[in-house]
Every structure is written in C-alpha cells, then in structure tokens.
Amino acid sequence: MNHKSLLAYKKSFDLAMRIFEVTKTFPKEERYSLTDQIRRSSRSVTANISESYRKRKYIKHFVSKLSDSDSENAETQTWLEFSLACKYIDQSTFKELNSLSIEVGNLISYMINNPDKFGVKK
C-alpha cells in the first residue's frame, strides 16, 4: 500500500482538482488572493496526507502531519465560504465542495484516531 491508495488522499486530490476547475471562473482581481489561497490550501491537504503516510514510523509525526492536513482543510472551507459570499460560486457548488471537504475531514480524523490501521506502531 502507498499513500495514493488512501481514500483520504484520493478524495482530497479530487476536491483540489474540482476547486482548481471552479476557480478558473473567478475574477482576475482575485488571482493573487482568494484564487491562490483556496488552491494552495486545498492542495496542501493532499500533500500533508502524503507526508503523514511517509512519516508513519513514528506516531507523533504521523498525527502531526495529519493535523496540518486537517487545518488546511478547515482553511479551504473558510475560502469556500468567502467564495459563496462574494458570489463567485453558487449555493449548489458551495454545498458540493463543502460536503466533499467535510468528508475529507472525517477521513483525516479517522486516520488520526486509528493510526494502527495505517501501519503506525504505538
């Protein structure tokens, strides 16, 4: 098993790619602000899941990187709220993306609470 086979990795990668596509329609004045921020935070969720898996030899390192991933996921949710408030996305798109983000957060929490299921020795 490698990090790419983790459900949290797959779902977070899909979410980041969906956000990338949606943000292509954001106004140009948001390029270095909201667009950049939401893309970076959503991608960071996936990157930190990858790093956590590689650091699974030590439980504290594993959990620490997953905690970083969870924080980036919360940041992504905040940027989604701003995107909705600024009317860059509609309610339906917000609901879809936010639901995916919540699902990713639940998967990350499961990994944090069950490190032994991911090859971490306590």
Nearest to 16 by CA among 41, 33, 36: 41
* Burial call 31-68: b when 16+ CB within 10 Å, e when fewer: eeebbebbbebbbbbbbbbbbbbebbeeeeebbbbbeb
Residue 93 tokens, joined? 């798109």
CA atoms within 13 A on the CB side of 80: 27
Task: Find out whether 56 and 119 touch, Cβ atoms under 8 Å.
Answer: yes
Whole-number pLDDT of residue 95: 98
How many Cα neighbours within 13 Å face the side chain of 96?
11
- Across the chain, which distance is largest between two alpha carbons, in Å? 49
* Predicted pLDDT at 121: 78
Structural domains in the chain plus CATH codes: 3-115 (1.20.1440.60)
Helix (H) or strand (E) holding 9: helix 7-23
Say what the pLDDT of residue 111 is. Answer: 97
Residue range 15-40: mean pLDDT, rounded: 96
> What are 56-113's pLDDT values in tens digits?
999 999 999 999 999 999 999 999 999 999 999 999 999 999 999 999 999 999 999 9
Residues 26-37 have a mean pLDDT of: 94
